[in-house]
């Protein structure tokens, strides 16, 4: 199934181009997410969970660890190939949120990690509702840099200049998809998180893995790199350090299927 025409141009181009960078540059999730998946999303052995917009599978091991059967659906084949190679036990399928390749009432939960803002619309929610079993859960997760730290806010300002019309979590526009008749009230949680590693990975590769940055022409991507380097050189907490920590906020939302 060719899904490139069904997804945003920044995602289709950028994620296909920088799938390897996505793997290296994206942060993991805090340990509290494991308890949330068990207690709030109700994942356990014997349940079936759909990882929708699964990407390269950055979040997928968390789902596997619950003991649930995991089905990953992703429209960008370059990313899905990375997931399938790293997690051969996961059932991987090409598809979009608006055309999920699964039967009605076939999964106990749908989890969208770093993804829902790309398809926050009634058509996708109708489709998610279709594949959920009665009593099922829709779970949304995002890692976002904690811009309360001044130098982190500077990184965000550099990145945001290039976002164009790409959907972003931080704008809150995704919330306009709710309320939806197929889902009950939203439960919201926040957990502190941190991304520690080399500046090359946690700053440069993290920014390069952003869809619309990856989709830029080479000279613009070089400009972004140069501006990030200038920021690092000017910040005492970053300058000359082999290992740095970027603070994050992990937001987790859960909505029950309205039966």
Q: Which residues contact 75 (CB under 8 A, 6 or more apart)?
A: 3, 4, 6, 7, 11, 12, 53, 94, 95, 96
Is residue 225 over pLDDT 60? yes
Q: Is 21 exposed, middle or buried (0-12, 13-18, 19+ CB in 10 A)?
A: buried
Q: pLDDT digit string (tens) for 70-104?
A: 999 999 998 999 999 999 999 999 999 999 999 99
Handedness of CA 231, 233, 239, 244 (dihedral sign): positive
Q: Is 214 exposed, middle or buried (0-12, 13-18, 19+ CB in 10 A)?
A: buried
Strand duo 107-113 + 91-94: pairing: unpaired
Q: Given this model, what pLDDT does residue 22 score?
A: 56
Q: What is the mean pLDDT of residues 229-244?
A: 97
Q: pLDDT digit string (tens) for 5-34?
A: 455 554 444 444 455 665 677 889 999 999
Give percent above pLDDT 90 in the chain: 87
Is residue 61 over pLDDT 90? yes
Report yes or no on whether pTM surpasses 0.85: yes
Banded pLDDT at 199 (limits 50, 70, 90): very high
């Amino acid at each position: 199934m060719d899904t490139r025409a069904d997804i945003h141009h920044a995602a289709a181009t950028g994620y296909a181009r920088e799938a390897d960078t996505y793997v290296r540059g994206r942060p993991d999730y805090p340990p509290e997410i494991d308890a949330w998946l068990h207690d709030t999303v109700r994942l356990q052995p014997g349940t079936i969970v759909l990882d929708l917009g699964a990407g390269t599978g950055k979040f997928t091991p968390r789902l596997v660890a619950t003991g649930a059967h995991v089905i990953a659906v992703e429209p960008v084949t370059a990313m899905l190939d990375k997931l399938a190679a790293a997690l051969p036990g996961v059932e991987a399928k090409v598809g979009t949120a608006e055309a999920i390749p699964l039967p009605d009432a076939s999964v106990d939960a749908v989890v969208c990690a770093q993804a829902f803002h790309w398809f926050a619309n009634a058509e996708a929610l109708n489709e998610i509702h279709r594949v959920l079993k009665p009593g099922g859960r829709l779970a949304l997760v995002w890692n976002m840099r904690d811009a309360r730290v001044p130098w982190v806010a500077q990184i965000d300002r550099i990145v945001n200049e290039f976002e164009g019309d790409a959907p972003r979590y931080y704008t809150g526009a995704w919330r306009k998809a709710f309320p939806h008749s197929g889902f009950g009230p939203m439960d919201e949680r926040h957990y502190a998180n941190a991304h520690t590693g080399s500046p090359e990975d946690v700053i440069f590769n993290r920014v390069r893995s952003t869809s619309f940055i990856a989709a830029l022409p080479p000279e613009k991507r070089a400009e972004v790199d140069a501006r990030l380097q200038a920021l690092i050189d000017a910040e005492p907490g970053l300058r000359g350090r082999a290992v740095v920590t970027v603070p994050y906020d992990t937001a987790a939302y859960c909505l029950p299927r309205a039966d």
